[in-house]
Structure 1
Amino acid sequence: MPETRFPIPVRRRIPGSSSHLILLLISAALGGCSGGDFGRTRQDFRNDDMHSWIGGEATSSVGLPVSQFQLTDNERLLRDLAYPLIEPPHSRPAWRSVFGEYGAQPSPWRQAPAFDRTAYGRALIDEPHRSHASRYALVIDDVRDDITRFEPFFAAAVRVIDLDRKRNASLPHISELSPRERTDAVARMQENSLIVQWVQQCLERRISSYRWALERLVIAAPDNMAADADRLINELAAQTANPPVSAQPVIGHAVSVRG
């Protein structure tokens, strides 16, 4: 019987220079994405005042003037800490979060259409997951992140609002105070107050979204993890209902006043 010979497949190797070129092209393409690598904001987006737009958006959205004063260190920190709380929570496809997303957000007084408390939960449920446990874990992580961010933001808000009270009290005693200086001072105080109210509203909306999402998870895929998620949501809700800051309401929903 004649010997049967099977053809041996020939593996074509990509020359080293070509493979290196491909890797370079892939690296360049990923580097060109707006969010940088592994969820970090790209370096060319980073600067000391990268969140200064928050104040201008808050005041302009309600028809108030924008202050021309430079930000103080405390005011800059307030805006930096506000951004993660006004950015929508992270129920989104994992491949998008890898590249990180950064973008200006409309204030609550400009948003249209109206807030949809179901959007977070629908994205969470509709996005494919390996198991229902990963959905619960995502809710738990998002709520825990908000709890972690709560104290630093409101600690900065306390300092800023307290200094604004002192600024306001000093205005009648400033010699030769120009109309422009007064306008900028008042505008900055309104701006700071609106930022605190903006975060407050976002926290209340997030809590509503988390509750809606958890309720749907419970009926779709009951799990003991629901108790942990519910406990964290209640903790965030309790903190949000009693913020440790007194901000003079400018417009819309006022921040709770505490002594």
Structure 2
Amino acid sequence: MSLTRGTQTKKSIAATRCAIGRKRPVLVLGILGLAAVSACTRPTGDFGRAEPSELHDNLLPDFGKALRYTTQQTVSTFNLTDDEKELRNRAWALIAPPSSSDWIGITTTELRRTGILPEKYLWIDPEKYYEVLRSEKYRSSETRYNRIVRDMESDRTLIAPYCEIARRVAAADKERRLALERRPAPTSDDVAGVYARLEENDDVTRWVLGMATIRLKAYRHAKNTLELETPSKEKIWSANHAYNALTQEYIMLFEDCGLEQGQEVVAEGPLKSRILQGWGQESPPPQK
């Protein structure tokens, strides 16, 4: 085809904008239908990265762009770089609810990711993780400890690779902004497209940072509740150790994950302190 995907998206957005203005009831039904469709979990591959999907990669995002365009929100029609695609794919495992059985949380997360659901309507309950874990039947009560440790260790392995991509995207965004400044007479579309993409890329990492608090809170609630329900000196030590290691990895995420805007704020520490605020101190591990 001679048209690029960016051109196709612009035309799709413009056409949808006109249709939305005339068909509000149809729009509402469409959103409800998309919500039902997106309840199917987004396919993931190795390291929790999202796998290609026509529904989740094209149909839902295009609909979300059209919605944001009609409400005068920031929309970029630029094509994504390879790193920007990888950033979004790797982010999925870190922004999704900790429990894969939390289908309401997963659905609302996907609708938020694709721009269909406004950010203010997204709420992930950190206690849902343990509710699901508690309802699952195991032969040994200590299996739940093993599950929490495994999930925390899995999260920890995802953070450094994500940060590597985030830093590359931030460097490219800096060059993108400088390239715009070098243009003698950039068009309004050029300016809008660049700053929309800068905001979109920052939003991905800011969302990952925000979910860090939720995920840590979910794991902390789960291990502390298990310590009350099914005490195990050895297993709670393992859970505390995994939790502390994950916390340190998330602190690295807050300090050095390549935000294009507001990097100085992250470096000064407010976001870092927000992870641990009000959570108290962990009990020291038992002496072996």
Provide the identity percentage. 24
CA deviation vs aligned residue, 1:189-233 (integer Å, no higher than 9, x gap): 110001001011112210011000000001111121121121111
Which AA in structure 2 matches 1:182? V
Structure 2 equivalent of residue 106 of structure 1: 112
Contact 2:75 2:196 in 1 (8 A): yes
User: Structure 1 length normalisation: TM-score?
Assistant: 0.69
Displacement of 1:51: 4.9
Structure 2 equivalent of residue 118 of structure 1: 127
The alpha-carbon distance between structure 1 residues 91 and 68, as it changes in their structure 2 partners (threshold 3 A), is closer
SS in 1 for 2:145: helix
Displacement of 1:128: 2.2
Matches for 1:170-189 after TM superposition, within 5 Å? 170-189=179-198
Structure 1 equivalent of residue 203 of structure 2: 194
The reply on whether 1:233 has 2:239 as its aligned counterpart is no
CA deviation vs aligned residue, 1:20-58 (integer Å, no higher than 9, x gap): xxxxxxxxxxxxxx5699x869xxx7259955768968x
Matches for 1:71-150 after TM superposition, within 5 Å? 71-90=80-99, 92=101, 104-106=110-112, 110-112=119-121, 114-150=123-159
Displacement of 1:82: 0.4
The alpha-carbon distance between structure 1 residues 241 and 48, as it changes in their structure 2 partners (threshold 3 A), is farther
The reply on whether 1:245 has 2:257 as its aligned counterpart is yes
The alpha-carbon distance between structure 1 residues 71 and 36, as it changes in their structure 2 partners (threshold 3 A), is closer
Aligned length: 213
The alpha-carbon distance between structure 1 residues 174 and 48, as it changes in their structure 2 partners (threshold 3 A), is farther
Which AA in structure 2 matches 1:132? S
Contact 1:139 1:210 in 2 (8 A): yes
Contact 1:91 1:123 in 2 (8 A): no
What root-mean-square deviation, in Å, do the aligned CA atoms of Structure 1 and Structure 2 show? 3.9
More helix by share: 2
User: Structure 2 length normalisation: TM-score?
Assistant: 0.62
Stretches of 4+ aligned residues off by more than 4 angstroms: 34-37, 47-57
Structure 2 equivalent of residue 163 of structure 1: 172
Could you list the runs of 5+ residues in structure 2 that have no partner in the other structure?
Answer: 1-39, 269-288
Contact 1:146 1:236 in 2 (8 A): yes
SS in 2 for 1:116: coil
Distance 2:200 2:78 in 1: 11
The alpha-carbon distance between structure 1 residues 174 and 113, as it changes in their structure 2 partners (threshold 3 A), is closer
Distance 2:56 2:244 in 1: 32
Could you list the runs of 5+ residues in structure 1 that have no partner in the other structure?
Answer: 1-33
Contact 1:81 1:153 in 2 (8 A): yes
Distance 1:184 1:65 in 2: 9
Which AA in structure 2 matches 1:150? I
SS in 2 for 1:242: helix
Distance 1:71 1:109 in 2: 22
Which AA in structure 2 matches 1:104? E
Distance 2:244 2:229 in 1: 21
